Structure 1
Amino acid sequence: MLTISDLHVNYGNIVALRGISLDVAEGQIVAVIGPNGAGKSTLLLTAAGMVRSRSGSVTFAGHNSGQMQPEALVAAGLSLVPEGRHIFGSLSVAENLALGATVRRDRAEIAHDIDRVLTMFPVLKDRYRQRSNKLSGGEQQMLAIGRAMLARPRLLLLDEPSLGLAPIVVAQVYQAILDLRASGVTVLVVEQNASRALSVADRTYVLNSGVIAMSGTSGELKGTAAFDAAYFGVSAGAGAP
């Protein structure tokens, strides 16, 4: 579904990603975890066509997505839920969801998919005509995911979906991620919350200082000194902060 090969990304003279390579197979949940500033958001923004790489390649479903505009990638089946959600606060929940379907023309199916989102997140049904800036942080995150789902993605990119949310809301969001995978959506999620990401991912990559430090299944990574060293950037014997 997604192949990233030897990806290098700079912001001016600042190197953000250094030779990143990873694969996301169809039907998987793949997590990229790491501390703040590791390059996780840059990775997703590059995959979504929002940031251009200095070298390397990004291939989505057979397309050289590094040569495609973001709107073309959305039409091809790739949707991004950005960090911070970026909903339109002056618009209602209904209007925000409708914006997610702007690449589509199948009106009857759009109505069906809106009903599906409202079933997945019942609180959005209760707030359907309310302005989005009146929603809580967790409700806004649900709306951002729902809006992305209205584009009917084959691959959903999620940037820090648990950031700033109460544990009970994080559990709801991650149950939704599992439900999406069960419905056939492939998911690439980036997180600082390592334990939460590891709990759902088929495979996890640890990103630190712009490089992949290690990768594996949750069983291979959890509770090992090598994982602490990769995540926190310390020597295996030094211990994590």
Structure 2
Amino acid sequence: QHENELDELPDSTTVFWRVKASNEYGQTTWADDDTTGWSFRVMLPTPPAEFPMWEPADGDTVRGDSVTLQWSGTGDADAGDSVRYEIQWTADPTFSLFLSDTTADTTYTITDFSVIPSGMGTFGEDFLEAADDTVLVYWRVRAFDRFGLGTWANDDSTGWSFLFIETGNEPPTPVPPGIPVEYTLWGVYPNPFNPELNLDLNVVVGLPHRAHIRIRVYNVLGRLVAELADNDFPQGYRAFNFRGQGLASGLYFIHVEVPNRINTVKKVVLLR
């Protein structure tokens, strides 16, 4: 038995072949004593057909404890082939880091946003906690078959985004009067914020004694885009305002630091 491999055969092509043996003494007749040979049809595997995403629609706001992603089903032209879907979600618009899962259904429910990739490396963390927070989530879906061939929903690998606001994530009550009993980041609100609707972001820090406060704002690439405070302040509740002038809508990180007392990062979403 002998084999000969043929490479790069064109799709949807009929190939005719025949074989005979030869050496220094001459040649045999054609195999099967048939000069017409045999034939076979080349049919390369095809990826699943294009399909649309449904909801949450791009730019939607979802409030609750979970979110269900939906898209249209698709098929595959290859006989006997089946289609599955890979869902990817992240807080990183570049999808350099993401969570993923697969399903044969056309819906997928995310119930846990406690940890989600952010692509934010400024504070040495690729995953930032999102519990009790507002998260701008990017998601996309890819259909794939048994050959591993894939097709992105909407024929677009950039995906869609939605704003997820967990139940109970409400703005705090007005800043209390008096002197706090401990150092605290009392509130970062409203979240999301929208200066065009007079919804400026407020960062409130409580100081039982005079202390230095440093507040910096970073984008999802870890670049410093604003500094709200870097000075000593007297005791009491100190409020700092952020309007996000010149910044695009999206996810930002508020780094609040009181040396040896407070060192924390909060995610906020700017909407315009």
Answer whether TM exceeds 0.5 for this pair. no
Comparing both chains, which one has the higher relative contact order based on Cα–Cα distances under 8 Å and sequence gaps of 6 or more? 1
Question: Please, what TM-score do these two structures have when normalized by structure 2?
Answer: 0.21
The structure that is helix-richer by fraction is 1
The structure that is strand-richer by fraction is 2
